[in-house]
Homo-oligomer: A and B are copies of this chain.
Amino acid sequence: MNNQGISGTICAFYEQFFDAEKKIADFIMENKKAVVDMTVAELARASGTSDATVSRFCRRCGFKGFQSLKMDLAKEVMKEERDSLQVSNEISRGNLSQSLQNILANKMAEMTGTIGMMDTDNLEVILNVLEHAGIIQFAAVGNTIPVAMDGAFKFNQLGLRSVSGSIWEAQAAHAYNLGPEDAVVVISNSGTSKRLLALVRGAKENGAKIIVITNNESSPLARISDYKIITATREKLLTGEFWFSRIPAMLVIETLYLLLFVSKKDAAEHIRRHEESIRPDKME
């Protein structure tokens, strides 16, 4: 059974092929992409040979049959496409298709980077803190507030008491009421927000544990916190100017959520009840 690319096989055996087989080989090499959607009969006609020869050709190349060869060809086409796909930061309305691929590549890199930088020991400790916290406050300012809200939503669904808010004063007031058994998850790309820093200081004085999700390892917020998770946001690179991607922070939240979900025994039941509660708004 063949397992190493048709092109290679064809080239290696080319001289041993009979005349009709060479015709088939030539046609495949010239029209890989089209052959993927052909039947034996079509390929036979297109290459000026016959069904039988095509079928025999596949066997002689080491494949189980025509379908098997086609599967291999499909993979090869994909491989070549991928290789010729150079990831760049170019985004334009002119070439939407390529721009989408570039955006995707950048987002994938952000996610890979974020997960890659996670230290499992550190993560383990953070998960423990969260699991045993009295209350978890998700804090953020500006356009990161949606991520904090999402965190509170998700954690409440798991059965972990959580709060968040869009008004800084209210968030701060709440933080000042926390105690040693509680935890604050601060989300801040830059890690330099004075308001979040004030909030964190207040919570810390009361003994609450501080977990920060930030893009900036050595920022004031990162330094003051007990535990940190560093994200790999790269919009600075993408547009040359500004941060705005919420995806890495969101990924961190979803990751914590998933890991807590699998270890918390009653999590599924909590989620089921939540789903039940929102069912009346759903159709069907």
Contact = CB atoms under 8 A, between A and B. Distances in A.
A120 B93 CA distance: 10
Nearest to A280: B194
Nearest to A191: B283
A67 to B, nearest CB: 7
A115 B142 contact: no
Contacts of A75: 74-75, 77-78
A4 B249 CA distance: 28
A283 to B, nearest CB: 4
A275 interface: yes
B36 A282 contact: no
A92 B262 contact: yes
B193 A282 contact: yes
A141 B283 contact: no
B195 A281 contact: yes
Nearest to A197: B283
Given A154-B244, A268-B241, A281-B194, A104 B93 contact: no
Given A74-B71, A91-B259, A283 B220 contact: yes
Interface in A234-248: 238-239, 241-242, 244-247
Interface stretch (A18-26, A52-60, A176-184, A250-258): A250-258
A115 B103 contact: yes
Contacts of A79: 78, 82
Counting chain A residues whose Cβ lies within 8 A of the other chain, the interface size class is 35 or more
A67 B283 CA distance: 36
Interface stretch (A42-50, A144-152, A205-213): A144-152
Given A71-B70, A111-B108, A239-B261, A244 B157 contact: yes
B271 A242 contact: yes
Nearest to A102: B258
A268 B241 CA distance: 9
A195 B118 CA distance: 40
B255 A247 contact: no
A107 interface: yes
Interface in A144-187: 145-147, 149-150, 153-154, 157, 166
Nearest to A78: B75
A4 B150 CA distance: 30
Interface in A53-94: 67-68, 70-72, 74-79, 82, 91-93
The 4 closest A-B pairs by CB, nearest first: A146-B146, A75-B78, A143-B153, A74-B74
25 contacts: A37-B68, A37-B71, A67-B67, A70-B71, A71-B71, A75-B77, A79-B82, A93-B262, A96-B259, A99-B258, A103-B115, A104-B112, A111-B111, A141-B281, A142-B278, A143-B154, A143-B157, A145-B149, A146-B153, A157-B244, A193-B282, A238-B258, A246-B254, A247-B247, A247-B250
